[in-house]
Amino acid sequence: MTAKTDRTKQGDSCAEARRGRGRPQTRCDEETRAIIFEAARHEFAASGYAATCMDGVARRAGISTKTLYRLIPNKAALFEAMITDRIDTFASVVRLRACDGSDTEKSLREALIVCGELILDGDVISLQRVILGESEKFPEIAETFYHKAIRRTERTLASWLQAQKERGLIKIEDAEAAAGMLLGMLVFQPQRAVLFGHAPTLTRAELERRAHSVAALFLRGCAA
């Protein structure tokens, strides 16, 4: 079955869900989950993990608690699903922006911008602040964030770099180590500045300039 067929069937499923029988459902489950995850990001970032409750997420999402519990069984599952959903979207975008060989630096710059949009997002940084503050009481949230967000982000960029290495476009020894170095150059300073309240999050223009500088600096050291 082709991807196009999958999307068509998925769209049909959503349409059927909207039509339904009897009282119409306004959204399909996929759309409702997206709204839930967005609400959860804001709720966790604003209130912290301990103070966030499923009722509050449901209110922010504009849905019933019954609907929320039907789709997601508890707060821990919601936290993990919220992170996984964000990283899945990020990983798919990076895969789609694979370099065609015509402009390696431009392709790397675009990949770094996507990474920066994820890691330096205000809600994501607020969420990290929450995790750092509550990880002693809730160690599972630190584990979830580390494995589902930090490590997956590193591996996603590492896979992109490995693909360029195999095409002969760059020369690196260890793609994962290179990915860590790149992400460190890109986000370490601005992320810490926001975490400690010394600067606002980067604007899009600032992120683009930083990605441009990091890509150029990196490629001068590993160009094939």
* pLDDT > 50? residue 49: yes
pLDDT at position 94 is: 80
Q: What tens digit of pLDDT does each residue of 166-181 get? A: 888 888 999 999 999 9
pTM of the model: 0.78
* pLDDT > 90? residue 93: no
Rounded mean pLDDT of 135-162?
A: 93
pLDDT at position 142 is: 95
Q: Give the whole-angstrom CA distance, residue 161 versus residue 183.
A: 12
Residue pair 80/138 in contact by the 8 Å Cβ criterion: no
Average pLDDT of the chain?
86
Which helix H or strand E contains 123, and what residues bound it? helix 122-134
Rounded mean pLDDT of 147-164?
A: 92
Q: Give the whole-angstrom CA distance, residue 67 versus residue 79.
A: 17
Using pLDDT thresholds of 50, 70 and 90, give the confidence band for residue 224: low
| 54 Cβ neighbours under 8 A, 6+ residues apart | 65, 68, 69, 74, 75, 78
Question: Which superfamily does 16-222 belong to?
Answer: Tetracycline Repressor, domain 2 (1.10.357.10)
* pLDDT > 60? residue 83: yes
